[in-house]
Structure 1
Amino acid sequence: MSTNFFGMKKSGSSGGLNAMVDDNFQYALGPPESGFSIFLAERTKKVHFIRHAEGYHNVATKETGNNDCLLRGSGPAHAHPLYDSRLTPKGIAQAENLRAYLAKRPSGSRSFTAFDLVVVSPLTRTCETALHIFGTPREPGKPAFLGLVDAPEGTPERAAGVKVAPPRFLVREECRERWGHYVCDGRRSIREISAEFPNFDFSELVHDDDVFYADERETDDHCCERAVKFLEWLNKRPEKCIAVVTHSSFLRHLFGQFGENLHNDDMDSLQRLAGNCELRSVVLCSHGNKDGKSIDPLMPPSSAPSTGKRLRKLSFFEWVQCQSGSTSEMKAKRP
């Protein structure tokens, strides 16, 4: 048994894979001593993880040099200006740049990366990122052949007049950011968010209000367990090429559980903190031991109740004080 950097024990059975030409897939599980990994194709699927683009909370932590500006203070979290933070103009440009890159990135028999499904965290910045990268999603319940649109500009498909189907956007709570403590990691009600993002499929969410957010940060162990359950859920999906628009700390807790037996450079590449709007592509392979396992809806752990709607709103003076925090103690990890 080996131990990852979260201190969690796991089996040492991972190895590198560089066998999918033009798709830049690098990571998989397998015996490390051979230098190769071989899997049955039917047990694999391509998953493209994308961290959200730059949000106003990212700018605030860079300007102040720490995360203190993300604390709710004496007011309720939802009243803080950075609660469920949105994308900056720079963030929107980052997402549009990734859209242009994906339009010309080969995948399978197409000249651009074609996705069967886009899974999105319910926070506003991930919904915005998904919309700017992938465009308007296909209406929930509509079959692909009834939702055909023009292919991306600059592709042979567009020049030939070939229509393509935009992917569905399915919102899942499991891939949201590590919750609690920082106001940027709470979300608005689904009633409010869904009105802003039509055609996103929110049907699999259980809670309208954010019952997960609290002053206490979600534990490392719980976030790691949640990340693995998300992989189990992905594995049960019928789609073979999936994009996941999510968050840096969630990805750190997910990827930090894999890769100890990879080449050092590959392990570092897999486990390092993701940048804004960074694309990290993997091959997910099921070993079959969890294929029949039922997956319950994500529920909040039995701990302190949500503080998202308590107490009074921050005064302007308190907000200015929050924004002018010390820059002398930069934290290594930012939300």
Structure 2
Amino acid sequence: MLVQRLTVWNTSLYTEVRLMSQVKSKNTIAELGVLSNRNANKTATSPKIFQIQATCTLHATSASEVDIQPSRPLMIPYRQTKLVHFIRHGQAFHNIAENHRSEEWFDAHLTPEGWRQAEQLRSRMVAETIQTPELVIVSPLTRALETVVGVFGDVDEMPEAKENALMVQQVGDEKHSVSHAAVSARGCPPVVVLESCREKMGGLNFCDRRRNTSEIKSHFPAMDWSFMETEGDDMWRVDHRETEEEMASRGQLLLQWIMRRRETSIAVVTHSAFLSALMRSCGQGLGPSLQEELHRWFENCEMRSVVLADMENLMPEDKYHFVP
């Protein structure tokens, strides 16, 4: 995340914070990163650095008292960065339905166009020599899992055994799913299925509910299902639709999980509403054009690549640091 420095003057006290969210001129609300608490023992009339780990409200008496300094390139150790490719799933049947909330579209599959979009993205990554990520993270919803198969699976090779299949053979009915040959996991990076990157949860949107873990795992056996903690969709609540803030918080936990991984290049295959909430919780320190690029709605099978940087020392080993 690009970090800007925000100085808020309040009588004789100023506070330096690393700004990670929205800035307003009065009653400024900022999502703050963890800072050093140096100078914590000094008097209130001297500069003071606070350690803040939650959302805070900063008070300024006028707009002129909020001084945002020009951003500068941020230099941090390479090990603290990750290249992350965020990918929305391909077109699914509920995307073209008149009533996408209908129970008919429970955990919807990709359409023929959705499969074609996944193959197009695969071809584009090859043509532009985009390096295959070291890890793929995917939502447990079928349309996201099928997108992983289309983008990263070996569509030209049949698996030798079921456990080596990224996806087993699928018999479609034209209205709800597409017939597709089994796809081998050979050459595909490890694929981890995570609940934390699924679509907006709750309410009556049946397309966003997932199947039982054992059922969906049997269709995608070579993926890593070890992080799925429950058989049923226990996270779903009919009486509560997840808010933007709740999705953003879930997304931030996902980013923290990613930063603690050893892989430096990762793909996340997920959903539009979740991506929107996550992206809009980041990048407020960027210029308008970059914010627009980051925050705009994802199209089906769109891939948007970003660099994540963390100020904490989460990865102790640094293979790029060498002293002879």
Q: TM-score range by the shorter chain?
A: 0.5 to 0.7
SS in 2 for 1:205: coil
Kindly indicate whether residue 266 of structure 2 is the aligned counterpart of residue 242 of structure 1: yes
Deviations for 1:148-179, whole angstroms, at most 9, x for unmatched residues?
xxxxxxxxxxxxxxxx9430111011001111
Is the contact between residue 262 and residue 315 of structure 2 (CA under 8 Å) also seen in structure 1?
no
Quote the Cα distance in structure 1 between the aligned partners of 2:224 and 2:152.
15
What's 2:143 paired with? 125
Contact 1:256 1:271 in 2 (8 A): yes
Contact 1:12 1:260 in 2 (8 A): no
1:11 Cα offset (Å): 3.9
Do the aligned partners of residues 288 and 12 (structure 1) sit closer, same or farther apart at CA in structure 2, a change above 3 Å counting? Answer: closer
TM-score normalized with structure 1 length: 0.63
Residue 280 of structure 1 aligns to a residue whose secondary structure is strand
Instruction: Name which of structure 1's ranges 31-40 and 122-131 shifts more when overlaid on structure 2.
Output: 31-40
Distance 1:190 1:12, change over 3 A: closer
Q: Does 1:44 align with 2:62?
A: no
Name structure 2 gaps, 5 residues minimum: 1-18, 35-67, 156-185, 317-324
Uncovered stretches (5+) of structure 1, i.e. residues with no partner: 14-30, 73-79, 107-111, 138-163, 293-335
In the alignment, which of 243, 264, 275 is matched to residue 288 of structure 2? Answer: 264
Determine which of 184, 192, 202 is the counterpart of 1:170. 192
CA contact (8 A) 1:223 1:250 kept: yes
Relative to structure 1, the CA distance from residue 44 to residue 12 in structure 2 (aligned partners, 3 Å threshold; closer, same or farther) is closer
The residue number in structure 2 matching 1:155 is none
State the partner residue of 1:254.
Answer: 278
Contact kept, 8 Å, 1:4 with 1:256, in 2: the verdict is: no
> 1: distance between equivalents of 2:202 and 2:118?
26
Instruction: Give a deviation string over 1:107-166, Cα, whole Å, max 9, x none.
Output: xxxxx42211111100000000000000059xxxxxxxxxxxxxxxxxxxxxxxxxx943
Q: Does the CA contact (< 8 Å) of 1:4 and 1:257 recur in 2?
A: no
Secondary structure of 1:131's counterpart equals helix
Take 1:93 and 1:233, find their aligned partners in 2: how far apart are those partners? 31
Q: Residue 308 of structure 2 corresponds to which residue in structure 1?
A: 284
Match of 2:94 among 57, 63, 67: 57
Match of 1:306 in 2: none
Match in the other structure for 1:10: 31
1:217 aligned counterpart, secondary structure: coil
TM-score by length of 2: 0.65
Q: Does the 8 Å CA contact 1:56/1:86 hold for their aligned counterparts?
A: yes
Matched letter for residue 113 of structure 2: K
Deviations 1:211-270 (A, max 9, x none): 122222112222111100000100111111100100011111111011122121110010
The list of structure 1 runs, each at least 4 consecutive aligned residues, that deviate by more than 6 angstroms after superposition, is: 289-292
Code of the aligned partner of 2:191: F
Counterpart of 1:301?
Answer: none
1:197-236 pair list within 5 angstroms: 197-215=220-238, 216-236=240-260
Distance change >3 Å, CA 104–CA 209, structure 1 → 2? same
1:139-218 correspondence to structure 2 within 5 Å: 165-181=187-203, 182-215=205-238, 216-218=240-242
Paired AA for residue 79 in structure 2: E
* Counterpart residue type for residue 207 of structure 1: T
Query: Given the superposition, is the C-alpha separation of residues 229 and 235 from structure 1 closer, same or farther in structure 2, using an over 3 Å criterion?
Result: same
Q: Give the AA of the match of 1:127.
A: L
Q: Write out per-residue CA displacement over residues 257-308 of structure 1, whole angstroms, 9 at most, x where no aligned residue.
A: 111221211100101110000001011111107779xxxxxxxxxxxxxxxx
- Could you tell me how far 1:105 is from its partner in structure 2? 2.3
Separation in 2 of the partners of 1:32 and 1:267? Answer: 18
How much does 1:199 deviate?
Answer: 0.3
Q: Which amino acid aligns with 1:254?
A: L
Q: Work out whether 1:134 is the aligned partner of 2:152.
A: yes
Bigger Cα Rg: 2
The verdict on how the C-alpha distance between 1:136 and 1:8 changes in structure 2, with shifts beyond 3 A counting, is: farther
Give the aligned residue type for 2:201.
W
Q: Answer 1 or 2: higher relative contact order, Cα 8 Å, separation at least 6.
A: 1
Structure 2 CA distance, aligned partners of 1:87 and 1:4?
Answer: 40
The counterpart of 1:274, out of the listed 295, 298, 301, is: 298
**Structure 2 letter corresponding to 1:42:** R
> Whose strand fraction is larger, Structure 1's or Structure 2's?
2
